[in-house]
Amino acid sequence: MSISWDILKSPELEERACRCLIEPGLEVYVLVKKGYRKKYAIFSTRFGSIDSRFQVEGSDQVIDVPDGVAHFLEHKLFEDEQGDVMERFAALGASPNAFTTFTHTTYLFSGTENFPDCLELLLDFVQEPYFTRETVQKEQGIIGQEIRMYQDHPQWRVFFNLLEALYALHPVRKDITGSLESIARITPELLYDCYRTFYHPSNMALFVVGDVDPRQVGEQVAANLARRNYRPLGEIRRFYPEEPPAVNRTRVSQEMVVSQPILHLGFKDAEAAGLTGEELLRRELAMDLLLSIIFAPSEPLYQELYEEGLIDDRFDAGYEAENTYAFTLIGGETRDPELLYQRLMEAIHRQRRRGIPQETFERHRRQHLGEYIRRFNSLEFIANNYLAYRFRGADFFAVPALLKQLKREEVESLLNSQLQEEQHALSLVLPRPG
Amino acid sequence: MLQQSVTYQLADGMRLVFIPTDKFKTVSLALFLHLELRADLATRAALLSAVLERGSRRYPDSLTLRRELEQLYGAELSTDIHKKGERHLISCTLEMVHSRFVGEGEELFRRGVSILGGIIGDPLLEKGSFREEYVAQEKEHLAQEIKGLINDKAQYALERCLSKMCQGERYGVYKLGRLEDLEQITPASLGQFYRELVPRCPIDLYMVGDLDPEKVLRLVEEELRIQRDGLSASLPPTEVRAEVEKVRYYEESMPVQQSKLVLGYRTGTSFDSEDYYPLLMYNGILGGFPHSKLFVNVREKASLAYYVYSRLERLKGLMVIAAGIEAGEYQKALGIIEKQVEAMARGEISPAEMENTRRSLINALRVQEDSPYPLINAHLEGSIGGRIETVDEMVRAIERVTPEEIARVARKVQLDTVYLLRGEEGGEASA
């Protein structure tokens, strides 16, 4: 069995990763981290909460699934005919976990010992589904409690309420966990339908990081997949509703048991929908720079708002972009949401009039570069981000080079086209009276 | 403690712990001021930590300070307040990218140490007082933070349980202090608190990164100038109570979707006791992991909770069990939890539970070495709790624990307080 490897280098980080493609189409990445005891591996599929309508090439059937299926499936893979997967990882001294995002589902373990056995177990349990009526029903109780936990979580609510306000139709507006009603409709058959579509190796990727031998990883994965007799899978088509460029609602609010109001101000970026790969990454970096130039603690706006008690040190601004949606989010806790809202909108206008000085641009660029490098201490950060960007068609290692290429004018032009009045929506969580 | 750490006792009673390693992209610094956890000091300590972060004599306002941090390639600076057993700590941490990765020299590191040195050792004092507007603003922010405990219901329930359980003990003091004490503090009184505290309190400075030990020592002496009396005051040890007269039950209602159940136990075992490792195994088997009794029985078998765990407050000899449940399932969940604790006391531990827990604990210890701040924290807690060991020694101790020792420890574990945050009608989600 011969596997051919590509080498991906990041000179800025003094890191290199190897990549290979294993039949029938699984991308495998290994980044060797000398000196680390921990090994961390993630096995990810391009199946997230927004994939609720899809079709596989060669089939005439379009499948619609209830909200929360990807997350439900994530929970259920931890159980197979032999019982609980958690216990087998524990016997190997490793710690397993999983998470579901809007666009993908990731299974993982971290551990210092027994790496080949742990990797084998990860590959096995993800590739061996076992769903019965009884186990599905049991999980509905557990996930029901997870949903309730998030319903009491003010930061979570203000965020999803904002997405509902920004998006009229796109499924990003729905909770990743689904609702109590939607998960009640999940059946073993439905889970198997999703599984057969999205858990084919050609829709997945594996990333291993730690002090391991890439060749052995490649051979082990190839042997594991070879014995499963996969047939090729046609292309998966995902259908998303035609999302209008305008926001769905300009304002939403909810009352909860909180000490003071929480504000999230969002801007829908309809222009970015459809961008992929390097273009998308470049826009993300430019938007992140723009947002820190306006809202970071090193700028006068933040300091004024902080001194007036309108924000606290958790105030933040960020940009999130996927292939089918993109938005900016600004906010935090505040004593006076109306005043903060007004001040934030004014600040954007003011910045537009003033433009972006070169010195400011350079300072923020420097900060972003350093922060990116610092975070490479974390094996989890490396693997999770590398694959998340890979799934968007982008190379996470390209960040330093792209940052260096970015021009002040490019960020300034986004300042003029983005963060516009008509793209915004406001989400508030307000203290319950009494 | 790591094998490769080097500890220096500095001339003025401070301690420097340097952990040389070239595996990180960063240089990480953390400085800790140790105080006794006490109701009359806690609020001032919390406020002091916040006011110090506002600036030093050299960087007198946040804008100047934050811009200097950006010039250091986005160094991350923060001050914080921690409760470890009955000790209260003010921390100042600074993490910066190692100069090698950004084509810079040693000067970058010096600037970082100098910022941290200024924040702690040379704050912005005018005639002995902190700047009035900084104190006023930080009082307002701290007040909001104290009130904001309610925003995270699980954390709120945990704090409520522990404060009820430890009423009358120093451990019952909330780490951010009390609103009523906040009003009394003035810029002058806070300045006086600082001037009395810093010369005498134990101070630990940690540094982790690829640095030359001699340069580290020299830089610390040059850039970290703290007015000291030359020796550190000794702080009273944490009191570990073993006796429980009678289990106390508390309940509070709130319009929320999920009820939070928290059980507080006294283990009667302190961190420096010979029973500590059996207790660590005990907690692991009971509720420390997804293979533990609580997770398997409350979540996987009974489907009653999404989260359920047990956790040690090892510096105080306490254990808490927490779960998010349906209000109507309170008695059922409590029953299943108590059954698991009883099974532990009867020594019902399978060989698989023993081995899986042993391995999981060893793994958790080993991975600490792969992140700077967990590494620092493990060392710090060891030195506070009087248990200075290398990771290899800890691993060997875990390997030696027997089921009999766990059963002995289990019999000392006593339920003290049960707290329920009950979700009531009206907690339905409405957008």
What is the model's pLDDT at position B132? 98
pLDDT higher than 60, residue B428: no
Whether chain A has a CB inside 8 Å of the CB on B22: the answer is: yes
Q: Which residues of A are catalytic?
A: 74
For A395, the token pair is: 């190379």
Taking only residues 268 to 297 of chain B, the set having a beta carbon closer than 8 angstroms to any beta carbon of chain A reads 289-291, 295-296
Whole-number Å distance between alpha carbons of B373 and A66: 42
Query: In which domain, by residue range, is A336 found?
Result: 251-431
Whole-number Å distance between alpha carbons of A298 and A305: 12
CB-closest option in A111, A258, A369 to B73: A369
Whole-number Å distance between alpha carbons of B41 and B43: 6
CA A108 and chain centroid, separation: 15
Question: If you count residue pairs, one on A and one on B, with CB atoms under 8 Å apart, how many are there?
Answer: 203
CB contact under 8 A, B367 and A38: yes
What distances in angstroms separate CA A309 from CA A335, B67, B138, one per listed residue?
7, 21, 9
Whether B241 and B168 have beta carbons less than 8 Å apart is answered as no
Average pLDDT value for chain B: 95
Whole-number Å distance between alpha carbons of B279 and B269: 8
Same domain, A197 and A295: no
Q: Is residue B13 part of a domain?
A: yes
Chain A residues in contact with B23 (beta carbon < 8 A): 33-36
With CA atoms as reference, the chain B residue closest to A364 would be: B70
Beta pairing partners, B28:
B95, B208
Q: Is residue B36 part of a domain?
A: yes
Task: Give the rounded percent of residues in chain B with a pLDDT score beyond 70.
Answer: 98
Same domain, B197 and B269: no
Q: Is residue B343 part of a domain?
A: yes
Report how many domains make up chain A. 2
Tens digits of per-residue pLDDT, B39-59? 999 999 999 999 999 999 999
CB contact under 8 A, A96 and B290: yes
Same domain, B182 and B264: no
Task: Specify the residue for token string 């407050």.
Answer: B313
Q: In a structure prediction context, what are the per-residue pLDDT tens digits for chain A, which is 434 residues long?
A: 579 999 999 988 999 999 999 999 999 999 999 999 999 999 999 999 999 999 999 889 999 999 999 999 999 999 988 878 999 999 999 999 999 999 999 999 999 999 999 999 999 999 999 999 999 999 999 999 999 999 999 999 999 999 999 999 999 999 999 999 999 999 999 999 999 999 999 999 999 999 999 999 999 999 999 999 999 999 999 999 999 999 999 999 999 999 999 999 999 999 998 899 999 999 999 999 999 999 999 999 999 999 999 999 999 999 999 999 999 999 999 999 999 999 999 999 999 999 999 999 999 999 999 999 999 999 999 999 999 999 999 999 999 999 999 999 999 999 999 999 999 999 999 999 87
Tell me the pLDDT band of B231, cut-offs 50, 70 and 90: confident
Tell me the pLDDT band of B430, cut-offs 50, 70 and 90: very low
The alpha helices in A167-245, defined as continuous H runs, are 180-184, 188-198, 214-226
CB-closest option in A89, A139, A152 to B153: A152
Chain A residues in contact with B303 (beta carbon < 8 A): 138-142
Which residue of B79, B306, B326 to mutate against A (max A Cβ within 10 Å)? B306
Q: In a 3-state reduction of DSSP, which class is residue B97? A: strand
Whether chain A has a CB inside 8 Å of the CB on B21: the answer is: yes
Chain A residues in contact with B305 (beta carbon < 8 A): 142, 145
Same domain, B254 and B187: no
CA A256 and chain centroid, separation: 27
CB contact under 8 A, B258 and A255: no
Chain B residues in contact with A373 (beta carbon < 8 A): 25, 73, 97, 101-102
B139-174 b/e (C-beta count within 10 Å ≥ 16 → b): bbbbbbbbebbbbbbbebbbbbbbbbbbeebbbebb
With CA atoms as reference, the chain A residue closest to B373 would be: A377
Q: Nearest-CA distance from A313 to chain B in Å? A: 9
Q: Which of B168, B188, B223 is the last residue of a domain?
A: B223
What is the ipTM metric for this complex?
Answer: 0.95
Query: What are residue A96's phi and psi, to 5 degrees?
Result: -95, 160
Q: Is residue B416 part of a domain?
A: yes
Same domain, B325 and B419: yes
Same domain, A217 and A259: no
CA atoms within 13 Å, Cβ hemisphere of B308: 31
Q: Is residue A267 part of a domain?
A: yes
CB-closest option in A96, A140, A309 to B137: A309
Whole-number Å distance between alpha carbons of A62 and B25: 48
Tell me the pLDDT band of B4, cut-offs 50, 70 and 90: confident
Whether chain A has a CB inside 8 Å of the CB on B339: the answer is: no
What is the model's pLDDT at position B426? 56
Edge to edge, the sheet with strand A95-100 lists A5-10, A15-22, A26-32, A204-210, A39-45, A105-111, A95-100
Q: In a 3-state reduction of DSSP, which class is residue A23? A: coil
Which among B266, B257, B283, B247 is positioned nearest to B398, based on CA atoms? B283
Q: Is residue B1 part of a domain?
A: no
Q: In a 3-state reduction of DSSP, which class is residue A262? A: strand
A93: left (phi over 0), alpha (psi -120 to 50) or beta: left
Whether chain A has a CB inside 8 Å of the CB on B147: the answer is: yes
For B91, the token pair is: 């921390």
Q: Nearest-CA distance from A275 to chain B in Å? A: 29
Which among B244, B257, B245 is positioned nearest to B413, based on CA atoms? B244
For A349, the token pair is: 């206008």
Cβ contacts of A222 within 8 Å, gap of 6 or more: A1, A3, A22, A23
* For residues B181-209, average pLDDT: 97
Q: Is residue B237 part of a domain?
A: no
Whole-number Å distance between alpha carbons of A361 and A371: 16
CB-closest option in B23, B67, B97 to A36: B23
Same domain, B161 and B290: no
Query: What are residue A102's phi and psi, to 5 degrees?
Result: -60, -35
Tens digits of per-residue pLDDT, A259-297? 999 999 999 999 998 899 999 999 999 999 999 999 999
Tens digits of per-residue pLDDT, B340-388? 999 999 999 999 999 999 999 999 999 999 999 999 999 999 999 999 8
Task: Specify the residue for token string 């259920």.
Answer: A76
Same domain, B137 and B267: no
B80-89 b/e (C-beta count within 10 Å ≥ 16 → b): bbebbbbbbb
Same domain, A90 and A162: yes
Q: Is residue A279 part of a domain?
A: yes
Q: Is residue A243 part of a domain?
A: no
For A1, the token pair is: 């069995």
Tens digits of per-residue pLDDT, B123-165? 999 999 999 999 999 999 999 999 999 999 999 999 999 999 9
Angle value at C-alpha B374, between A88 and B89, nearest 5 degrees: 135
For B327, the token pair is: 């209000």
CATH value at residue B13: 3.30.830.10
What distances in angstroms separate CA B12 from CA B89, B91, B114, B202, B225, one per listed residue?
19, 19, 18, 10, 10
With CA atoms as reference, the chain A residue closest to B284 would be: A90
pLDDT higher than 90, residue B32: yes
Whole-number Å distance between alpha carbons of A163 and A313: 24
Q: Is residue A245 part of a domain?
A: no
A332: left (phi over 0), alpha (psi -120 to 50) or beta: left
Q: Is residue B238 part of a domain?
A: no
CB contact under 8 A, A87 and B306: no
Q: Nearest-CA distance from B67 to chain A in Å? A: 5
CA B348 and chain centroid, separation: 32
CB contact under 8 A, B431 and A93: no
Residue B30 is which amino acid? A
CB-closest option in A96, A333, A377 to B25: A377
Query: In which domain, by residue range, is B178 found?
Result: 6-223
CB contact under 8 A, A96 and B73: no
Q: Which helix (H) or strand (E) holds B319?
A: strand B318-325
With CA atoms as reference, the chain A residue closest to B429 would be: A151
Chain B residues in contact with A306 (beta carbon < 8 A): 62, 137
Tell me the pLDDT band of B198, cut-offs 50, 70 and 90: very high
Which residue of B24, B25, B252 to mutate against A (max A Cβ within 10 Å)? B25
Which residue of B291, B293, B362, B365 to mutate against A (max A Cβ within 10 Å)? B291
What is the model's pLDDT at position B431? 36
Taking only residues 361 to 420 of chain B, the set having a beta carbon closer than 8 angstroms to any beta carbon of chain A reads 362-364, 366-367, 369-372
Report how many domains make up chain B. 2
Q: Nearest-CA distance from A25 to chain B in Å? A: 32
Whole-number Å distance between alpha carbons of B97 and B74: 8
CATH value at residue A159: 3.30.830.10
Same domain, B271 and B125: no
Same domain, A164 and A125: yes
Q: Nearest-CA distance from A254 to chain B in Å? A: 5
Q: Nearest-CA distance from B160 to chain A in Å? A: 16
Q: Is residue A399 part of a domain?
A: yes
With CA atoms as reference, the chain A residue closest to B28 would be: A374
Chain B residues in contact with A143 (beta carbon < 8 A): 306
Same domain, A158 and A289: no
Whether chain A has a CB inside 8 Å of the CB on B75: the answer is: yes
Same domain, A105 and A11: yes
Whether chain A has a CB inside 8 Å of the CB on B174: the answer is: no
Tell me the pLDDT band of B429, cut-offs 50, 70 and 90: very low
C-beta atoms surrounding B195 within 10 Å: 12
Q: Is residue B230 part of a domain?
A: no
Same domain, B286 and B219: no
Which residue of B254, B303, B354, B399 to mutate against A (max A Cβ within 10 Å)? B303
CB contact under 8 A, B362 and A309: no
Same domain, A190 and A279: no
Q: Nearest-CA distance from B427 to chain A in Å? A: 8
Q: Which of A238, A272, A287 is the last residue of a domain?
A: A238
How many residues are there in chain B?
A: 431
Whole-number Å distance between alpha carbons of B73 and B85: 36
